[in-house]
Structure 1
């Protein structure tokens, strides 16, 4: 996630806005605080699993990787796809496979999906400058930033140049003001690199509300959660830090309102169903479905892996297999949802790190997804 961080003077939170995963299924931001001793010292629960299908994943390797240790105190993995059903949980996480958790920057997938639906309805195009939809939101002397550039993180927006004031629920306009203060440098064009930035999806949330006249939360419910029967997937109101039980992991240290950038709540079954529907074209029209997998034109020095499509999907390659999805973090948990083409195999994971070794955590997540495939 990565997730909106509202204390720009914190080095950890700054890193969460811009860190991308290496090795394929990586985390845009990592929560690194250790669990309290009482939680870390609990006797780890065994992996509970049930698998049915002709092409079984490497469940023995998954169980080994999920064992609590010096990288994570607990891990949840859920696999789905054609003929595949497998769930494993270890450590001090809820043993309920449908436990709720804050999905952090996985929220961005829901935001981009709604935006692509609006494009399909003719409300605007992928090349429409956001300045036309939200006049006065960005400085007049800035060059045009398109809707597609926001989804693909090629808007040129950098880090905020003004510190965020402490508060539980800043408005989207207040969040964006920290990127558009007169002290901030204007984005440089043409943009030929990707800069992962939560401001992009705050702007997209504002675009959704402007184009529909409804709240972001209502549009996600109407367009995605309700049609797919995602009963545990929603965007909480500003300032609402509650998390309905059962809860996957300790919900403490929840950061301020993340809204359309990283504020949603869901569970593993709902995320699997959402990703399956998205990858199989059940949520978008054909033209917009193609945008999910179209990669933006970048400079030759940028590798075509571990980056974002025009439709906001993270593209990663693990063991020669291309997967599409998104990572996220919130509080103490790090999560992700990925799938292969047409959702032949999907994986949802969440773990609770007990280390600040980000490279080791990225490597562990890559191995988890590789074993799942």
Structure 2
């Protein structure tokens, strides 16, 4: 039995999250060269956090659309945390962060670039010989990070099988319906989790340590993130109290693409330190704010998700969805305001899910 990975429920929800948050960037000129956004002023950022508006943005249990919601708003203007519905009364409880994991992965890779262990122009075929078909054109580390690799998204996999990262990449490269990568001088930005499975494999090949070890050594321990970790292969239970009743994961082990667990305080601290430049040297730090050519999906050259909200506020961070949670962590570049949210949807209507988290973002920023 086979199934298209790009059509699995988690990937559909994740794609919807990303699309809704970055549609406001669609007005970018199609041929614009890579450019750096200046640090925005407090355009559109309210002076004070409004608890009533934030509480209302989480919704009510009676709407039948969400089992619960959590939001944590911070920054120089104040702080607010709250929950709604059948989730832990403790907004600091842990949850599966889904594709927010990609921010950790790209940070580790950029640190390795800064150390001279590899370069952004290094082809993944050189780092991982035999992983991709030999006749494919070279795909660079930079293209993987910014989702401009052109790799196909379709995959053939058995939902009852257990895959290693290499096995999962093979379900793409050997799937008849996947086709070959998009090639050319201006490859469009296509969000693709396979890019980050490959980056996780690159981390392990270059360092000779596990991906989990490098994330812990380089980010988790230095920042004192007490509830952030990469689960072991086959580890399904959360190690700390969960934000909501857990659902068993149904997709392949998402690992460096979307498998991490964290909580709101840890995510707020991680993104804050990343945007402050505490994790990367200047040459790599600037990539966090540069959009590549044809950045229709709103991901920077450093793998950060960028969006401009309707009132003009520019935010940076990442959204994600896995194991019953739909999450995000975003902040203004000057860190005047930050937001971590996690929703537990009952609905499968992507429009309703998007409406809820965009309502929370509007109230937060």
Q: TM-score, normalised by structure 2?
A: 0.87
Other-structure match for 2:305: 314
Separation in 1, partners of 2:261, 2:271: 15
Other-structure match for 1:281: 277
Other-structure match for 2:249: 254
CA deviations 1:324-369 (Å, max 9, x no partner) are 1111111222111001113221100001112222122212211211
- Where do residues 52-71 of structure 1 align in structure 2 (5 Å cutoff)? 55-68=47-60, 69-71=63-65
CA deviations 1:198-219 (Å, max 9, x no partner) are 1100000000001101000000
Other-structure match for 1:129: 123
Structure 1, unmatched stretches of 5+, are 27-53
Separation in 2, partners of 1:267, 1:9: 27
Structure 2, unmatched stretches of 5+, are 24-45
> Bigger CA drift: 200-209 or 152-161?
152-161
Other-structure match for 2:264: 268
Other-structure match for 2:165: 172
The answer as to whether partners of 1:59 and 1:371 remain within 8 angstroms in 2 is no
Other-structure match for 1:340: 332
The answer as to whether partners of 1:25 and 1:327 remain within 8 angstroms in 2 is no
Separation in 2, partners of 1:164, 1:261: 19
CA deviations 1:211-252 (Å, max 9, x no partner) are 101000000000000000001001011000011231101112
CA deviations 1:91-130 (Å, max 9, x no partner) are 1110112201111111000000000100111111112111
Other-structure match for 2:180: 186
Q: How many residues align?
A: 336
Separation in 2, partners of 1:95, 1:351: 14
> Bigger CA drift: 8-17 or 108-117?
8-17
For the aligned residues, what is the CA RMSD?
2.1
- 1:108 is the counterpart of 2:99: no
Other-structure match for 1:12: 9
* 1:141/1:178 CA distance change after superposition, 3 Å: same
